[in-house]
Structure 1
Amino acid sequence: MPLGISIRTIGIMKFYKYVGAETAKIIIQNSTLKFTSPVNFNDPFDYFPAVQEEGLRKFTRRINDEIGGGVKRYKTNHRETSKHLQSLRSGAFRDLYTRNMSISCFSKSPFILPMWAHYADNHEGCVIEFEFKTDSPLVVEYFSLGINQLSQILIPFDVNYSEDRPPLFDENGRTDGPNTGFQACLTKAKEWEYEQEMRVVTKQPEGIYSFERSQMTGLYFGMKIDKKDKTDLSRIIDGSNNYTGTKIRKHDVVMAYDKFELSKIQFRL
């Protein structure tokens, strides 16, 4: 597997997308998802790793060796090192190294109260359930393609929550360590921990991309969803299940009687 990436569990992994009703209709009908550049996320720290002096000279020498073919395009004296630090810490550099990557965000649970409020139109929307089978032969295909090529398989990675910003490179100037490089886009501040986020990352510019339709396995209708939206979504799901081979199950969401919790019940129109 590339970049030291590992799959969290073996077997079936469920992950969930909080969306408005109209967005849900598009996703289910077209089997497409929007992937967004980290630069356009609501968190200004997103994929904006820390650049520290420790390891900078080794990082610069490695860039000279691997990109410059041994030619010292970037000097490592004190004055130039200060310039490098300033450049690498800039928003312009962040824009540069994220321009050919984009992310679609999910959660580990369909019952997160703030997520319903923030991303599912205050319970007027819904949550789409996705499934990823880690033992599927498609996984082998995905990793044989590599992270730099487009795959229609949605493979979610856990987001890590930390007090510290992830580093761009480690003390040895490497960007392929456990917290650097690609892994930096999977690290967020602990204040976001309630989202229980998972991410699907593609090395493609921001845009709309197709995914494997069979990965959709459920829809949770918000408690305040409009009756027409519920009817339309139910019809779209039935059409998908009947004609495209999906097995999307429909669920209603209700409040627990004695706790600040949500649960699912049998779907009804």
Structure 2
Amino acid sequence: MEFPEVKRLYKFRSLRSGVDEDGKPIYNQFTISMLRENTAWIARPDTFNDPFDCNYRPIPARMKEGDELFIDDLPPHEVEAKIINDLPKGCSDREMEQAIFRVAEFRNDHIQHMINSYCVLSLSEECDHTLLWSHYADQHRGICIQYARSENSNLSGELSRPVRYRRHYYSVDHKDYQVFLRDHVYSPSGKDWKNGNNLLTNAIFTKSEQWFYEKEWRVAMPFPQPAKGFNLKIDVPIISVIFGCLTPEEDKKVVMDILGDDVRYYQAWKSKMEHKLDVIPEEEWRGRMDYYQSERDISKYLK
């Protein structure tokens, strides 16, 4: 198993999707399903909230010196051949540049099609980052689910790994693209691309460095269908559930009624000395809260 030091992964979720006309909570059915059935929504990259994510179009419009538009041992796609054959004899530099650009765009579209034939489950190595709670757990009113990560599970497979964060776009040339197709896509005995850093894995597992704080971990699964995603059955247990510092008591009870005593429960607690969260066992938090409430009681001085 790669990255054996990472033994836990976390998924932040909201619990509520609103309230009904009587003011009673309406619970998020995807989250409830995750708890009851141990599933998680795994989404196509073109549904992500970041339009740059998995959308690099890595082949540039202009060819680099030493690049090859076509290689001898890979026939050109019929669209690529038509673009080049459409050039007039004695074409101008501008016409050639335009043809190369069109080939690059066609190839970038093909790369995007390959990427979108996979779905991605996003998790995190962090459970106490305030922004993750704010963005993905209903502003600290939701939960964070902790999964064990073990050998031979779908959290430790070939396409399960941490995200790499970069400032610049990932880029390949035309020859790189064609060699990848020749060796990994079209060859009957092609090399397994899933274990290395290449055209597809770099696209799926690379994000802008601005997202570094998420410490994201991804699981990618093939899904060559037009749907937006599917519910993946997680084949490792839920170890614990962490409640947000604003999670209502009635929502905690809903979670505990579903999972029972098979998991541990923790509470995210606003640190008294630093701008951060402490994560402590639920029963310890209740003891601290009772003590805090009794110590701060000034009701007798208000009479």
- The TM-score, its normalising length taken from structure 2, stands at 0.67
Residue pair 2:123, 2:217 contacting (<8 A) in 1 also: yes
Distance 1:81 1:234 in 2: 60
1:158 is matched with 162
Q: Determine if the alignment matches structure 1 residue 111 to structure 2 residue 128.
A: yes
Corresponding letter in the other structure for 2:129: I
Q: Residues 57 and 74 (structure 1 numbering): CA distance in 2 closer, same or farther, change over 3 Å?
A: farther
% identity of equivalent residues: 18
Residue pair 1:165, 1:187 contacting (<8 A) in 2 also: no
Give, in angstroms, the shift of residue 213 of structure 1.
4.4
Distance 1:97 1:103 in 2: 13
Residue pair 2:67, 2:173 contacting (<8 A) in 1 also: no
1:54 is matched with 64
Corresponding letter in the other structure for 1:43: D
Corresponding letter in the other structure for 1:65: L
Distance 1:106 1:32 in 2: 13
Corresponding letter in the other structure for 2:71: R
Give, in angstroms, the shift of residue 37 of structure 1.
1.2
1:98 is matched with 115
3-state SS of 2:74 partner: helix
Residue pair 1:57, 1:81 contacting (<8 A) in 2 also: no
1:245-256 map, 5 Å: 248-256=263-271
1:20 to 8, 14, 35: 14
Distance 2:200 2:121 in 1: 18
Q: Deviations over 1:78-127 (max 9, x none)?
A: 453221123344xx556522332111111111011111111000010010
Higher deviation after alignment, 230-239 or 47-56: 47-56
- Count how many residue pairs are aligned between Structure 1 and Structure 2: 236
1:32 is matched with 39
RMSD, aligned CA: 3.1
Where structure 2 has 5 or more consecutive residues not aligned to the other structure, the ranges are 16-27, 88-95, 181-192, 287-303
1:65 is matched with 74
Distance 1:66 1:171 in 2: 13
Where structure 1 has 5 or more consecutive residues not aligned to the other structure, the ranges are 1-5, 140-152, 242-247
- The TM-score, its normalising length taken from structure 1, stands at 0.75
1:222 is matched with 244
1:176-195 map, 5 Å: 178-195=197-214
Higher deviation after alignment, 23-32 or 205-214: 205-214
Give, in angstroms, the shift of residue 172 of structure 1.
3.9
Distance 2:69 2:241 in 1: 47
Give, in angstroms, the shift of residue 31 of structure 1.
1.7
Give, in angstroms, the shift of residue 170 of structure 1.
7.5
